[in-house]
Amino acid sequence: MLTVTSVNVNGLRAAAKKGFVEWLADTSADVLCLQEVRAEPEQLPETVRAPEGWFVTHAPAAAKGRAGVSLYSRREPDAVRVGFGSAEFDGSGRYVEADLPGVTIASLYLPSGEVGTDRQDEKVRFMD
């Protein structure tokens, strides 16, 4: 049985300065799903971008400093996919999934939206 932890890091560079690397070293999770990473992989320290003992996939948003998801796994995934085949959303840094033995794990950062606004319409399109 895999242990999966999901964390909204509200900026992975900031989280790294506040102890993310130490927390990662201490976690017993087999898989870690991060949301709101807000960074390109090359902006992250090596200890965060590709920590020893973890297989990592980062899905940054095309809009710099926005959204972004990452998936860390102690086991090398059989396959990894960024996005889900949507021309509108695949570059938005909101979805990454990995196939592990017997299970597919996804890190998802759902768009927010207020009823009756364009953002709500975007959220509904994303969920569809």
Number of domains in the chain: 1
End-to-end CA distance of the chain: 30
Mean pLDDT score, 69-74: 98
For residue 86, what is the domain's CATH number?
3.60.10.10
Rounded to two decimals, the pTM is 0.94
The reported pLDDT for the residue numbered 114 is 85
**Distance, CA of 91 to CA of 79 (rounded, Å):** 19
Q: Where is 127: in which H helix or E strand?
A: helix 118-127
Place of tokens 């938005």: 92
| Tens of pLDDT, residues 15-42 | 999 999 999 999 999 999 999 999 999 9
- Could you tell me the residue range of the domain that residue 103 belongs to? 4-127
Backbone φ and ψ of 74, nearest 5°: -75, -20
Do β-strands 31-35 and 55-59 pair in parallel, antiparallel, or remain unpaired? Answer: unpaired
Place of tokens 């960074």: 39
Displacement of CA 55 from its chain's centroid (Å): 13
pLDDT band at 113 (very low <50, low <70, confident <90, very high): confident
Do β-strands 31-35 and 4-8 pair in parallel, antiparallel, or remain unpaired? Answer: parallel
